[in-house]
Structures are given as C-alpha cells and as structure tokens.
Amino acid sequence: MAERGEEQQQEPALKTGSRPGKSRRSPLQTLYKGDQLELSGAQKTLQGRREVLEQACLSHTKKRRVLSPEDLKHLIVDDKHGLIYCYVPKVACTNWKRVLMVLTSNGRYTDPLAIPANEAHVAGNLHTLSEFSVTEINQRLRSYLKFIFVREPFERLVSAYRNKFTRSYNTAFHKRYGTKIIRRHRPNPEAEAMEKGNNVSFREFVQYLVDPRTQREEPFNEHWERVHSLCHPCLIHYDVVGKYETLEPDAQAVLRLAAVEGKVQFPTSSKSTRTDGNMAARFFQYISPFYQKKLFNLYRMDFLLFNYSTPEYLRTR
C-alpha cells in the first residue's frame, strides 16, 4: 500500500482477509447464549448463511487481494455502538441509513421515518470506513459488528431499472445514463430520446450492462453494481448476512445484537408494488436467452455467494 502523504510513513496493509482469532468471541456469538447446542431457527439461519458464504468464497475466489481504503466507501461506521454496515442500493439501504442516523445523532433524530429519504443519502451525514487511517480501519474491522443486507440479484436489478429509468423525476439518471444507452443500443434513435434519455427499455438496459465497453469506460453505478464488488464479502468477514426477503426479522436480529432495540425500530415497509420474482419474470420474458445468459454470468457471483438459486424463468439452457 502506498504511503499516506500527510503522515509520511508506511501504514500497515488492511488485514481484511483475516478471520477473528479463537480467543475473541465474535459479536454473533452473543446470539447463542454461551455455547448452548439448541439454536433458535433465526440463529441457525444467520449462522447457515455465514457458512454458505465462507464456503462459496473458498470455492469460487482464487486470488486474495489487499483492500485499500478506497474500496470501503460503502461501509458505514457507527463508533458509538461498534457497528459497520455495508449499504447496497435497492436493499432497504435508505431505511438502514435512517436507523444509523438515529443511532449516531446524539438525540437529534429519534424516529427514522421522520428523516427525509434524500437527507439519508447526503454524503457526510454518516461516516464511512474509507475516512479512517489503515490502523483505525483494521481496529474497527476486528472488533465491530459487521453486517450486510442482500437481495435476489435480478429482483434488485429490475427494481433499480424501474426506479431509475421509468420514473419521470429521475432526470439526472436519464441524462447521465439513459442518453448513452439509447445512443449506443437503439437503432435509429429519435433526437428527443437521445437528448432526454427518458425512455430506456429494459432490453436496452440489459444490453448496456453486458456490453464489455461499459465497464471498460467506467465502473458500474452503485445501483446495479454487484454486491460482491461493493462490499467485498470474501475479504471482509461479515457477522450477519441479512436478506431483503426476510428483512424485518433479520433487521430485528441486528438491532438485538447491537443492543439498540430499545433505542430505535427498523421501519416497516408500506410499498405496495415491491419488485418480486413474478415482476422480474415479466421483465425478463422480453430478454433473449443469449442476453439472459450473459447477464446471469455477470451477476453469477452474487447468486453463488448469497445462496440464491437460478431463477426458473431464465431460458439459458
């Protein structure tokens, strides 16, 4: 790792690949009430997910690399309660950011839902792990409760498409990405579509994702970047892997582990048109088997690491 200019000395490398030593009880072990053999269903589920993730990492990642602070921009830190949360867009991250703003605000906020969604995403309202020195990063990675929430990859992708490309108010995304997608992937586009970028089809979005030029030119936007690229789950040992599909009980488990369930409640969702497997299937029926296969290969690691089965609606065989 390069020298940090302001300190003019060599910092130790990030020890992100290391596993907690036997002498230290991981935060998750507080769930187990000592070393009892009878684990509850929720405890078994959380433990099982960690084991699946560890096994998948061993099976599917060959080279270990050292992370730099730059890789840690999605890891939000709560020093007061010893928490690290890796946020994944389209996986309830707005509500988790609201919860963390309540926990770190010293009483300024008490109700997560009273915090406007746009305020939850303002850079600087929460601290990320990338802001600390390497020594401070390693100390937090060793001792804090680390958690992540994931979602079925294609349901997350369809949710991102619906939110960013089919909502009239998302003009920044239409200009930034829509215009490029239409210019590159629509034969004979109209001038207005090229200027506004506000009517990208799901097929065009998929073509953009699997086009090798896309990632050569710039990294994926965080709303469709793979979870393993945002949160590095084979290098960072997450104590809890929560799932969008079991969001409320998993969120409750995290708040209980953090000993803050009396201070804050995770907001329950009131969404009536949440993107699920049936909705994803409707979007994918217009995608050719060729592009379905390419897209699956692109998100394959997220399916494997987080134990999501190949969707039945895919026609890749």
> How would you class 38 by CB atoms within 10 Å of its CB: exposed for 0-12, middle for 13-18, buried for 19 or more?
exposed
pLDDT digits (tens, 9 = 90+) for 171-185: 999 999 999 999 999
The amino acid at 23: S
pLDDT band at 254 (very low <50, low <70, confident <90, very high): very high
Mean pLDDT over 41-64 rounds to 89
**How would DSSP label each residue in 207-227?**
HHHH-HHHHHHSPPPTTTS-H
CA 235 to chain centre: 15
82 pLDDT exceeds 50? yes
pLDDT of residue 36: 47
pLDDT of residue 34: 47
Tokens 């097929």 belong to 203
Tokens 């601290």 belong to 127
Look at residue 243 and give its three-state secondary structure: strand
pLDDT digits (tens, 9 = 90+) for 9-32: 334 466 644 443 333 445 555 554
Q: 115-131 as b/e, with b when 16 or more CB fall inside 10 Å?
A: beeeebeeeeebebbbe
